[in-house]
Amino acid sequence: MAKLKMGVIGMGMGRTHIRGYQAHPGAEVVALCDVDGKRLKTAGEEVGVPESGRYTDAGEMFRKAGLDAVSVAVPNKYHAPLTIAALRRGLHVLCEKPMATSVREAERMNAAAEKADRNLMINFSFRFTEAAFALKQQVKAGVIGQIYFGRTVWHRRRGIPGFGGWFGQKELSGGGPLVDLGVHRLDLALWLMGFPEPVAVSGSTYNAIASRLARAARKRFDVEDLACGLVKFANGPTLILEASWALNQGEGEHMVTALYGDRGGLVHRNVGGGYEFAAEVFTEEGGDLFTKKLDRRTGPTPSSYGEFVDSILEEREPLATGEQGLKVMKILEGIYRSAATGREVRYRP
Ligand SMILES: NC(=O)c1ccc[n+]([C@@H]2O[C@H](COP(=O)([O-])OP(=O)(O)OC[C@H]3O[C@@H](n4cnc5c(N)ncnc54)[C@H](O)[C@@H]3O)[C@@H](O)[C@H]2O)c1
């Protein structure tokens, strides 16, 4: 069977996408794009894509490279325009998180996918971990029951990505740790909860540490360094979301998603301050309280890149859809709006 021809835009995180596709027997990476010619050359040599498959202009790559699908892994501001342009060319798209810098853009991306009848997947890569897949299985099996409360968190002691670069400039990023880290933990919680409909959000943002660091280092920084929000859903549950790049806490990197139901509770958290994850479930059986820990998952846990390729080959929706990305964006935008106005944001049903 012919392999899917994949292109990747953006040679930072995009290099992880390339490795993900190269690990799949049904796909091959035939084209790369980056506006930075030096970065493009280095990446091309590293992953074995010859000069003829390297582009500094995404539009030219869409026209000339004969692609089936493309990854968009560039600064957030360019997610919507590049995704829409690729969909209009008939390509399936795996777009990095956050889906866009506004709800409006996310809606336009979904409309373009619908019109083109192509898959639009958002790279909510933290779902694609053994711990998350195992917990989803527990939820599906009814072990947790009705989830009514949760807390989902990613805090760093000091960890501003590319300090002074685009991540800290609202014009290019659309926001700070809320859209960079919080987006992953929010998606994970919503996925485990079955993507309930948000009805109201209130939030706060702070800039207590990063701006001082930026002034001292003469770097640009105009986003928050901590954001938090409280989300209420139509079917009753409440979720608290917290994210920061700089916080005076003990751990270097602290991630936890805890969801509580009427039959059991679950926790997905990082261990050892890194990107390894533990899954635990807490239940009551016959009046006794139990704690279960995941040792090893035996079922398959695809990478997000494998899932994207499989969804195209199997002609089905991907696991992380643009519609889900839009719901995530609505909550993120709501938190910023609430923080700016000091009022709760309510969503029309
Ligand atoms: N899923 C994850 O876990 C994860 C991890 C890291 C980054 N990301 C996301 O990936 C995206 C990229 O982040 P990064 O860390 O790789 O940033 P980066 O700055 O390291 O890399 C971005 C690259 O895009 C290139 N670029 C910029 N505009 C372009 C354009 N119009 N056309 C072609 N190339 C362009 C830049 O030259 C740069 O090489 C962001 O949306 C970020 O949120 C996701």
CA of 256 to the centre of ligand 1 (A): 25
pLDDT tens per residue, range 324-347: 999 999 999 999 999 999 999 999
Ligand 1 within 6 A of CB of 100: no
For residue 10 and ligand 1, the question of a CB distance below 6 A is answered with yes
Q: How far is the CA of 37 from the centre of ligand 1 (A)?
A: 15
Looking at residues 84-93, what average pLDDT do you find? 98
- Looking at the chain, the whole-number percentage of residues with pLDDT higher than 90 is 98
Is 90 exceeded by the pLDDT of residue 299?
no
Q: Identify the pLDDT of residue 37.
A: 98
Assess whether the C-beta atom of 181 lies below 6 angstroms from ligand 1.
no
Helices (H), the chain: 14-22, 37-47, 58-64, 79-88, 103-116, 130-140, 170-173, 177, 183-193, 210-217, 304-313, 322-341
| Nearest-atom index, ligand 1, CA of 179 | 43
What is the residue with the minimal CA distance to atom 18 of ligand 1? 12
Q: Residue 202 C-alpha to ligand 1 middle, in angstroms?
A: 29
pLDDT tens-digit readout, 191-226: 999 999 999 999 999 999 999 999 999 999 999 999
Closest C-alpha to ligand 1, atom 10: 73
Query: Which atom of ligand 1 lies closest to the CA of 39?
Result: 39
CA 336 to chain centre: 18
Q: Is the CB of 278 under 6 A from ligand 1?
A: no
- Ligand 1 pocket test, pick from 13, 38, 183, 187 with the greatest ligand atom count within 8 Å of Cβ, gives 13
> How many CB atoms sit inside 10 A of residue 202's CB?
20
For ligand 1, atom 17, which residue shows the shortest CA distance? 12
Mean pLDDT in residue range 235-250: 98
**Helix (H/G/I), strand (E/B), else coil: 11:** coil
Contact present, 242 and 182 (Cβ < 8 Å): yes
The residues with which 29 forms a beta bridge, in sequence order, are 6
78 touches ligand 1 (CB under 6 Å): yes
Q: Is ligand 1 within 6 A of the CB of residue 58?
A: yes
Residue 349 has pLDDT above 80, yes or no: no
What spacing in Å lies between the alpha carbon of 162 and ligand 1's midpoint? Answer: 11
Establish whether residue 97 lines the binding site of ligand 1, counting it when its CB lies within 6 angstroms of any ligand atom. yes
Q: What is the pLDDT of residue 340?
A: 98
Q: Average model confidence (pLDDT) for the chain?
A: 97
Please report the sign of the dihedral spanned by the C-alpha atoms of residue 269, residue 270, residue 275, residue 281.
negative
Contact call for residues 130 and 219 (beta carbons, < 8 A): no
What is the whole-number distance in angstroms between the Cα of residue 13 and the centre of ligand 1? 6
Mean pLDDT of 33-40: 98
Give the position, in ligand 1's atom list, of the atom nearest the Cα of 36. Answer: 37
Q: Is the CB of 172 under 6 A from ligand 1?
A: no
